[in-house]
Amino acid sequence: MKQNYMFTSESVTEGHPDKLCDQISDAIVDHFLSQDPCARIRAECAVSGAIVFIAARFSSVANVDFTRIARKTISAIGYEQPDFNARSTSILTTPQALPEDYSCQFDETALTDKEIDQIAVKDQVTVFGYACNQTPELMPLPISLAHKLSRRLAELRHTRKLSYLMPDGKVQVGVEYRYRKPTRIHSVTLTAEQKDPDSPDLKRLQKDMKQHVIQSVFDSEPMKPDRKTLITINPDGPFLGGPSQHSGLTGRKNAVDTYGEYAHQSEKALSGKDPMRIDRVGAYAARYAAKHVVAAGLADECEVMLSYSIGLTRPVSLQVTTFGTGKRDDAEIAKLITKTFDFRLAGILKKFGLRRLPSRHPEGFFRKLAAYGHFGRTDLDLPWEETDQVDLLS
């Protein structure tokens, strides 16, 4: 097992074309579920130039205007440029209504354990959940820092403190590890898009990014860049981003959505799917279990793997890896979390209330997850980020 290494993770702003697509897809999911908690919906989005294409298959009584949702999302992100904006962008949709799926018409909050055990998954997937004690939110340090920097970049644009910024931007943070513990910040790379590529000039841009983004974020971090930290800002010159320059697609930034590739991920898109999709909610349940293991002090880091097969209720495989940091044997921890947590589909829905969360958040629930990660979020009240059952693992 590798002990000493340097690891990098990437984050992007909500204006990145792939993240734009994720947010449109999840905004559609929110609108269906807010009207019909039992809706089945799969929405995928692609964007290129001034064209947004939405493909959606759904079974629901809800009335959803795909075009209006896409335009509202584009506007909320802040695209107001002549070549891409909420008013003139062409929205192409191919909605496909499917027959009503009666197997999904149930109230999970009222199900008995026997009834939960009769609701099988309809997809096959292996999902992973991960947690470690590198940060207070129990996330790997590189992706945690990258998200903070990209969110700060977006905040400066939204508040118009740096009015020349455009919605697209990306960040990469490198961290050096010794004995699997972060020891120093190796590098920070920040790429920001400007309305005018020539104004401000590169020197002014670099000064602003160092002061208002990098320094602002690291002021409150226990580990800060040192004199040897490599800081690069727009290293390839003026950055031309957004849909007018780069195409986007739902589900193409899975590493940004999860653990920055520090841990395994299923490679399945998290956005654009209703909670009956086990490849989405299973990843939340796996994170929930892994976070409890670390929060309970059973390991410094933990990865939980769940494998599901079509037509079965429970995972066909559950494995735990603590990378040599476990206070108990990995197999013993696996037995403990199997006994403590419910990894059945309806059990996950019941525990987290996933199908009813959009109706409780009129401003959108799943759409907010579609940028800056689905895990380790301290700005959102996410049920899978709770550690409410730690006492059961002690």
**Which tens digits make up the pLDDT trace of 266-290?**
989 999 999 999 999 999 999 999 9
Residue 219's pLDDT is 97
Among residues 94, 76, 93, which one has the least CA distance to residue 85? 76
The Cβ of residue 207 has, within 10 Å, a number of other Cβ atoms equal to: 12
Residues 349, 110 contacting (CB under 8 angstroms): no
193 inside domain: yes
According to the model, what pLDDT value does residue 394 have? 76
Whether residue 87 lies inside any domain: the answer is no
Q: Which amino acid is at 135?
A: T
Task: Report if residue 303 sits inside a domain.
Answer: no
* Residue 182 in domain: yes
Give the residue-averaged pLDDT of 293-321. 98
% residues pLDDT > 90 (the chain):
95
- Residues sharing a CB contact under 8 Å with residue 94, sequence separation 6 or more, in sequence order: 53, 54, 55, 56
pTM greater than 0.85: yes
Give the pLDDT score at 249.
97
The token pair that represents 250 in the structure block? 């739902």
- Give the residue-averaged pLDDT of 336-353: 97
Report residue 101's pLDDT band, with 50, 70 and 90 as the boundaries: confident
Q: How much is the average pLDDT of 101-120? A: 94
- What domain count does the chain have? 1
- Cα–Cα–Cα angle for 286, 287, 289, nearest 5°? 65
- Indicate the helix (H) or strand (E) that contains 317: strand 317-321
Q: Can you give the pLDDT at residue 3?
A: 80
Whether 234 is covered by a domain: the verdict is: yes
- Show the tokens assigned to 353: 């209330």
What pLDDT, in 10s, does the model give residues 112-151?
999 999 999 999 999 999 999 999 999 999 999 999 999 9
- The string of pLDDT tens digits covering residues 160-193 is 999 999 999 999 999 999 999 999 999 999 999 9
Burial 215-234 (b: 16+ CB within 10 A, else e): ebbbeeeeeebeeebeeebb
Percent of the chain at pLDDT exceeding 70: 100
Residue 280 located in a structural domain: no
**Residue 227 maps to which CATH number?**
3.30.300.10
Domain that holds residue 193: 5-11+142-240
Phi and psi at 269, nearest 5°, equal: -65, 140
What is the C-alpha separation between 98 and 58, in angstroms, rounded?
A: 6
Residue 166 lies in a domain: yes
Report the chain's mean pLDDT, rounded to a whole number. 96
Q: What is the pLDDT of residues 54-85, one digit of tens each?
A: 999 999 999 999 999 999 999 999 999 999 99
Q: What is the model's pLDDT at position 1?
A: 52
Rounded CA-CA distance 223/37 in Å is 43
How far apart are the C-alpha atoms of 367 and 344, rounded to whole Å?
A: 25
Terminal Cα-to-Cα distance of the chain (whole angstroms): 27
Q: Is residue 67 part of a domain?
A: no
